[in-house]
Chain A
Amino acid sequence: MMIEARGLVRTFKTKRGRGTNLVHAVQGVDLDVADGEIVGFLGPNGAGKTTTMRMLATLIKPTAGTATVAGCDLAEDPVGVRRRIGYVAQSGSTLPEAIAGDEVVAHARLYGVPKATAIARGQKLFDELDLPGMWRRQSKTLSGGQRRRLDIVMGLIHDPKLIFMDEPTTGLDPQARANLWEHIRGLRERGATIFLTTHYLDEADALCDRILVIDHGRIVASGTPEELKQQVSGDAVKLTLADASQVETVSKIASSLPGATEAETDSNTVTFRIPQGGSVLPGLLRSIDLQGIELAGVEVHRPTLDDVFLTMTGRSLRDDTDTPPAAETETDTEKEAVTV
Chain B
Amino acid sequence: MTVLRETWIVFHRQMTLSLRNPTWSILMLSQPLLYLFLFGPLLKPITGQIAQGNDVNAYQVFIPGLIVQLGMFGAMFVGFALIAEYRAGVIEADRVTPASRIALLAGRVLRDVIVLVVQSLILIALSYPMGLRAPIGGVLLALVIVALLGATFASLSYSVALITKSEDALAPLLNGIAMPLLLLSGILLPMSLGPTWLERLSDISPLKHIVEGVRALFRGDISSSTSMWGLFWVLLLTVIGLWSGARTFRKESA
Interface residues of A (CB under 8 A from B): 57-61, 79, 82-83, 85, 87, 89-99, 102-103, 106-107, 109-112, 151, 154, 334-335, 337-338, 340
Contacts and interface: CB of A to CB of B under 8 A. Distances in A.
A94 B84 CA distance: 11
A57 B88 contact: no
Interface string B130-166: 0000000000000000000000000000000011010
A60 B90 contact: no
Interface of B: 2, 6, 9-10, 12-13, 16-17, 20-21, 84-85, 87-90, 92-99, 162-163, 165, 248, 251-254
B99 A110 contact: yes
21 contacts: A57-B96, A59-B95, A61-B252, A61-B253, A82-B97, A82-B98, A85-B96, A89-B93, A91-B87, A92-B88, A93-B93, A95-B17, A95-B85, A95-B88, A97-B21, A109-B9, A110-B99, A151-B89, A338-B162, A338-B165, A338-B251
B6 A110 contact: yes
B17, B89, B93 — most chain A CB neighbours (10 Å): B93
Contact of B88 (A79, A85, A94, A340): A94
A183 to B, nearest CB: 19
Q: Tell me which of A83, A91, A106 has the highest count of chain B C-beta atoms within 10 A of its own C-beta.
A: A106
A87 B98 contact: no
Contact of A93 (B12, B90, B99): B90
Nearest to A83: B98
B94 A110 contact: yes
Given A60-B252, A97-B20, A106 B12 contact: yes
A210 to B, nearest CB: 24
A106 B84 contact: no
A95 B20 CA distance: 13
Contact of A58 (B88, B96, B162): B96
Given A59-B252, A102-B16, A110-B98, 17 more contacts: A82-B96, A89-B92, A91-B88, A91-B89, A93-B89, A93-B93, A95-B90, A97-B20, A99-B20, A106-B13, A107-B97, A110-B10, A154-B93, A337-B253, A338-B162, A338-B248, A338-B254
A89 to B, nearest CB: 5
Contacts of B9: 106, 109-110
